[in-house]
């Protein structure tokens, strides 16, 4: 676990170094989002659909490549009718991702692909008894950023597959809508 944590920290540090070294040439966008969290796999047999909220920033290097850092908080409720267990699962974490845009920033709709690693704190409440642990996660997905008017604000519609190495494994698909600001 220490090796994986060190690898995630190294990726985050390299992302910051890469972003700061190209600062004069790139652009920074930041934003907020919210949406639905759909559990998949084993997680789907235990929990119902939930919600997710987040904030993040993307540093775009020259060209269509960037580095993204984001934080998210989500919650799902246990399917007590199917499992006989009440309670919920809460995830809070951060992810560092590499991003690639398929078209230029000037496009009215920009398609963006992403993949990254992160750390998540998983807290499960089972009939009033709770426990938590911090685990490594990974994810990959796509988004479409629509220009809103003549300014730089964009409406972002995104989805991705994410998996957290908890026991049992927590894999899910967040579907979010958000706003992005900056250059």
3-state helix, strand and coil shares in percent for the chain, rounded to the nearest 5: 15, 65, 20
Residue 143 lies in domain: 2-182
| pLDDT tens sequence across 18-35 | 545 545 578 999 999 999
Size of the chain in residues: 183
Q: State how many domains the chain has.
A: 1
CA distances 124 to 69, 70, 89, 177, Å, are 25, 22, 4, 26
Residue 162 predicted with pLDDT over 70 = yes
CATH of the domain at 109: 2.40.160.20
CB 66 within 8 A of CB 60: yes
Local confidence band at 169 (pLDDT 50, 70, 90 cut-offs): confident
- Condensed to tens digits (0 to 9), the pLDDT of residues 113-123 reads 999 999 999 99
């Amino acid at each position: 676990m220490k090796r994986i944590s060190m690898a995630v920290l190294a990726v985050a540090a390299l992302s910051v170094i890469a972003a700061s070294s190209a600062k004069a040439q790139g652009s920074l966008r930041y934003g907020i989002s919210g949406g639905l969290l759909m559990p998949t796999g084993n997680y789907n047999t235990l929990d119902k659909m939930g919600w997710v909220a987040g904030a993040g920033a993307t540093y775009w290097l020259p060209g269509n490549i960037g580095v993204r850092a984001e934080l998210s908080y989500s919650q799902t409720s246990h399917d007590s009718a199917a499992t006989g267990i009440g309670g919920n699962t809460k995830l809070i974490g951060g992810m560092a991702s590499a991003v690639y845009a398929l078209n230029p920033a000037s496009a009215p709709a920009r398609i963006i692909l992403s993949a990254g690693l992160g750390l998540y704190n998983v807290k499960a409440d089972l009939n009033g008894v709770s426990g938590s642990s911090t685990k490594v996660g990974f994810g990959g997905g796509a988004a479409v950023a629509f220009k809103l008017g003549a300014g730089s604000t964009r409406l972002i519609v995104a989805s991705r597959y994410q998996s957290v190495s908890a026991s049992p494994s927590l894999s899910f698909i967040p579907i979010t809508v958000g706003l992005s600001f900056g250059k």
